[in-house]
């Protein structure tokens, strides 16, 4: 008879499954052939270079992206990038990753929802493009051990699932897990306010029953679908993108501790959320047009 796993054993198995295997030596070969450029996280620089070439026209001519404060992102060392999240198929992640890689020449790893990891084809492509399963240990290794940039959206799926009537109203930043990640890794949190994503693919309403049926976090009906028909499933509106990088937030605590004050973590997370919210409102007041900025 097969023994029944306890809740603790099940949780441990799930935790191990969420971690990406440790890197293999770069000179290792398989059947006499050299390994590809895919790193231990699944990221491929060849794929990223191809993605940058294909995405450049959309970035420059469709979204016409403008940055403010990009110099606040360090050129070396780890940092946790935190931004607001929006759009039925979020357009902010590729804009941020592309902009930083093009302007600063630094790779950006995006913490991805487990939905992406479980979808075979999508999960593989997202990993090749720099996506990593959203587990604290993965983030710590990239930030502290490898000194890389990691992008996270604390709103989770609550951000992109917002309807257009709730645009630019930030949802709760979970339980502040991103703060603990930064504290343990000993790196700063760098908030980025994004204006434009909300209008690129606005949600008119959601269909919860259909989302549950097909196993996705939400099923949106967007203005793009009404305007472009089937093409609206992947075609964005040409909203003008503006991004503002805020001052880095550092924490005067020792890294690599087992626990940190929950009240301190929640307080820091809420402070960053409020600062981002105030910045978004300020940017919206300054904006003359959704399409021209």
pLDDT digits (tens, 9 = 90+) for 52-103: 999 999 999 999 999 999 999 999 999 999 999 998 888 999 999 999 999 9
| Percent above pLDDT 90 for the chain | 69
164 has pLDDT over 50: yes
Confidence label for 42 from pLDDT (cuts 50, 70 and 90):
confident
Residue 118 has what pLDDT?
Answer: 61
Average pLDDT over residues 119-133: 79
Strands 242-245 and 189-195: antiparallel
Asked which of 72-76, 214-218, 225-229 is least confident by mean pLDDT, the reply is 214-218
Q: Do 69 and 178 meet the contact criterion of CB atoms below 8 Å apart?
A: no
Residue 129 has what pLDDT?
Answer: 86
Average pLDDT over residues 214-231: 92
Report which listed range, 28-42, 55-69, 207-221, is most confident.
Answer: 55-69
What does pTM read for this prediction?
A: 0.85
Q: In 10 A of CB 11, how many CB atoms? A: 11
Q: Hey, what are 142's tokens?
A: 């990239």
284 has pLDDT over 90: yes
Asked which of 8-17, 83-92, 122-131, 219-228 is least confident by mean pLDDT, the reply is 8-17
- Domain 39-286's class? alpha beta
Q: Which residues 6+ apart lie within 8 Å of 15 measured at CB?
A: 135
Average pLDDT over residues 114-141: 79
Residue 19 has what pLDDT?
Answer: 46
> By C-alpha distance, which of 194, 78, 205, 96 is closest to 145?
78
d(CA 47, CA 82): 24
* Cα torsion angle, 126, 118, 269, 172, sign: positive
155 has pLDDT over 70: yes
Q: Do 160 and 219 meet the contact criterion of CB atoms below 8 Å apart?
A: no
DSSP state of 146: T
d(CA 224, CA 204): 10
Q: Hey, what are 274's tokens?
A: 């409020």
Q: Which residues 6+ apart lie within 8 Å of 218 measured at CB?
A: 157, 160, 161, 206, 208, 211
Query: Strand pairing partners for 67?
Result: 243
Q: Do 114 and 135 meet the contact criterion of CB atoms below 8 Å apart?
A: no
Residue 120 has what pLDDT?
Answer: 63
């Amino acid at each position: 008879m097969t023994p029944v796993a306890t809740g603790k054993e099940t949780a441990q198995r799930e935790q191990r499954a969420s971690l990406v295997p440790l890197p293999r030596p770069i000179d290792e070969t398989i059947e006499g052939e050299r390994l590809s450029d895919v790193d231990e996280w699944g990221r491929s620089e060849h794929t990223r270079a191809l993605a940058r070439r294909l995405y450049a026209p959309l970035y420059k001519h469709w979204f016409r992206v403008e940055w403010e404060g990009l110099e606040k992102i360090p050129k070396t060392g780890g940092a946790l990038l935190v931004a607001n999240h929006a759009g039925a198929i979020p357009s902010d992640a590729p804009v941020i990753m592309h902009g930083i890689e093009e302007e600063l020449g630094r790779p950006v790893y995006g913490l991805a929802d487990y939905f992406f990891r479980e979808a075979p084809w999508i999960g593989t492509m997202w990993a090749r493009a720099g996506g990593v399963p959203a587990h604290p240990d993965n983030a710590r290794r990239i930030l502290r051990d490898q000194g890389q940039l990691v992008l996270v959206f604390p709103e989770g799926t609550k951000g992109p699932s917002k309807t257009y009537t709730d645009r630019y109203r930030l949802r709760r930043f979970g339980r502040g897990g991103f703060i603990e990640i930064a504290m343990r890794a000993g790196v700063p949190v760098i908030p980025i306010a994004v204006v434009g994503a909300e209008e690129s693919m606005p949600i008119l309403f959601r269909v919860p029953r259909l989302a549950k049926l097909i196993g996705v976090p939400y099923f949106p009906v967007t203005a793009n679908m009404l305007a472009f028909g089937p093409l609206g499933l992947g075609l964005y509106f040409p909203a003008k993108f503006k991004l503002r990088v805020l001052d880095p937030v550092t924490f005067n605590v020792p890294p690599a501790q087992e626990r940190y004050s929950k009240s301190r973590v929640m307080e820091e997370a809420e402070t960053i959320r409020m600062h981002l919210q105030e910045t978004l409102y300020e940017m919206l007041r300054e904006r003359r047009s959704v399409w021209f900025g």
